[in-house]
Structure 1
Amino acid sequence: MPIDTGNTQVSLSSEDQWRWGDVKETDITPSWVGGDGIFTEGVDANDDPVLRRVFTKESRPYASPFNVIAAMMKAAGEISVAPEVVTVADETIVMRRMPEHWRNAKLDELRDPYILWAVLEQHRRVHEITVDKVLSMSHRSILDDVSSMRDRCVASSVPLPHGIDHILKDLEPFIARVDGLREPCVPCHGDGAASNVLIDTQTEQDAPNAPLLTGWTVSGVMDPLEEAGSVLSEVGQFCGNQSSLVTGLGLDAECLRPAQAFSIINDVYWSLIGLWRSATSENAAVDFAKYGLWRLVKARNQLCTPIGPGKWLKEL
Structure 2
Amino acid sequence: MSTLSAQDENSAVPTGGIRGHARTEAEHAVEAALDAVIEWQGRQVAYSPVHGGLQNENWRLEVEGEQIPFFLKIPGAGSEAFIDRKNAHVAAERAGALGISPRIVHFDADTGIEIIEFLEGYRACTNGDMKQPEITSEIIGLYRAFGSIEPLPSTKTVLDMIDEHLVQTAELGITLPRFWSELMREQHSAQQALLAGGIDLAPCHNDPMPGNFLISDGKPMRLVDFEFSSNNERAYELAVMTTEFFYDDHRLAECVEQFYGAVCAQALARVQVCGFLADVKWGLWGIVNAKLNSGWDFDYHKYGVWKLHRAQSRLRDPRWGSWIGTL
Q: Tell me what 1:255 maps to.
A: 267
Map 1:4-15 to 2 at 5 A.
12-15=37-40
Opposite residue 15 of structure 1, the aligned amino acid is: W
Map 1:71-150 to 2 at 5 A.
71-89=90-108, 90-99=111-120, 101-131=121-151, 135-136=152-153, 138-150=154-166
Once the 2 structures are TM-superposed, how far is the Cα of residue 108 of structure 1 from its aligned partner? 2.2
Is residue 236–residue 275 contact of structure 2 (8 Å, CA) maintained in 1?
Answer: yes
Is residue 18–residue 42 contact of structure 1 (8 Å, CA) maintained in 2?
Answer: no
Once the 2 structures are TM-superposed, how far is the Cα of residue 44 of structure 1 from its aligned partner? 3.0
Once the 2 structures are TM-superposed, how far is the Cα of residue 158 of structure 1 from its aligned partner? 1.9
Opposite residue 13 of structure 1, the aligned amino acid is: I
The 3 A distance-change label for structure 1 pair 231 and 92 is same
The 3 A distance-change label for structure 1 pair 175 and 21 is same
In the alignment, structure 1 segments of 5+ residues that lack a partner are 1-10, 27-33
Is residue 171–residue 313 contact of structure 1 (8 Å, CA) maintained in 2?
Answer: no
Q: C-alpha deviations, 1:161-192, integer Å up to 9, x for none?
A: 12333123123322112223235322221222
Deviates more, 1:185-194 or 1:238-247: 238-247
Whole-angstrom distance in 2 between the partners of 1:57 and 1:182: 37
Whole-angstrom distance in 2 between the partners of 1:209 and 1:173: 44
Q: Secondary structure at the match of 1:162?
A: coil
Divergent runs of 4+, >4 A: none
Is residue 92–residue 226 contact of structure 2 (8 Å, CA) maintained in 1?
Answer: yes
Map 1:205-220 to 2 at 5 A.
208-220=218-230
Once the 2 structures are TM-superposed, how far is the Cα of residue 80 of structure 1 from its aligned partner? 2.1
TM-score normalised by length of structure 2: 0.79
Map 1:1-316 to 2 at 5 A.
12-16=37-41, 17=43, 19-26=45-52, 34-45=53-64, 46-63=66-83, 65-89=84-108, 90-99=111-120, 101-131=121-151, 135-136=152-153, 138-200=154-216, 203=217, 208-238=218-248, 240-250=250-260, 253=263, 254-305=266-317, 309-313=320-324
Whole-angstrom distance in 2 between the partners of 1:193 and 1:274: 14
Q: Secondary structure at the match of 1:211?
A: strand
Whole-angstrom distance in 1 between the partners of 2:126 and 2:78: 25
Q: Tell me what 1:5 maps to.
A: none
The 3 A distance-change label for structure 1 pair 238 and 110 is farther
The 3 A distance-change label for structure 1 pair 294 and 103 is farther
Q: C-alpha deviations, 1:35-62, integer Å up to 9, x for none?
A: 3322111023414200011223412222
Once the 2 structures are TM-superposed, how far is the Cα of residue 121 of structure 1 from its aligned partner? 0.4
TM-score normalised by length of structure 1: 0.82
Q: Secondary structure at the match of 1:237?
A: coil
Whole-angstrom distance in 1 between the partners of 2:251 and 2:307: 22
Whole-angstrom distance in 2 between the partners of 1:20 and 1:263: 43
| Aligned-CA RMSD value | 2.3
The 3 A distance-change label for structure 1 pair 72 and 248 is same
The 3 A distance-change label for structure 1 pair 269 and 284 is same
Q: C-alpha deviations, 1:71-125, integer Å up to 9, x for none?
A: 11111122221122122124111111112x4222112211111111011101110
The 3 A distance-change label for structure 1 pair 299 and 84 is same
Once the 2 structures are TM-superposed, how far is the Cα of residue 282 of structure 1 from its aligned partner? 4.3
Higher-Rg member (1/2):
2
Opposite residue 129 of structure 1, the aligned amino acid is: I
Is residue 120–residue 249 contact of structure 1 (8 Å, CA) maintained in 2?
Answer: yes
Whole-angstrom distance in 2 between the partners of 1:256 and 1:110: 20
Is residue 38–residue 53 contact of structure 1 (8 Å, CA) maintained in 2?
Answer: yes
Whole-angstrom distance in 2 between the partners of 1:251 and 1:58: 40
Is residue 55–residue 296 contact of structure 2 (8 Å, CA) maintained in 1?
Answer: no
In the alignment, structure 2 segments of 5+ residues that lack a partner are 1-35
Whole-angstrom distance in 2 between the partners of 1:152 and 1:279: 10
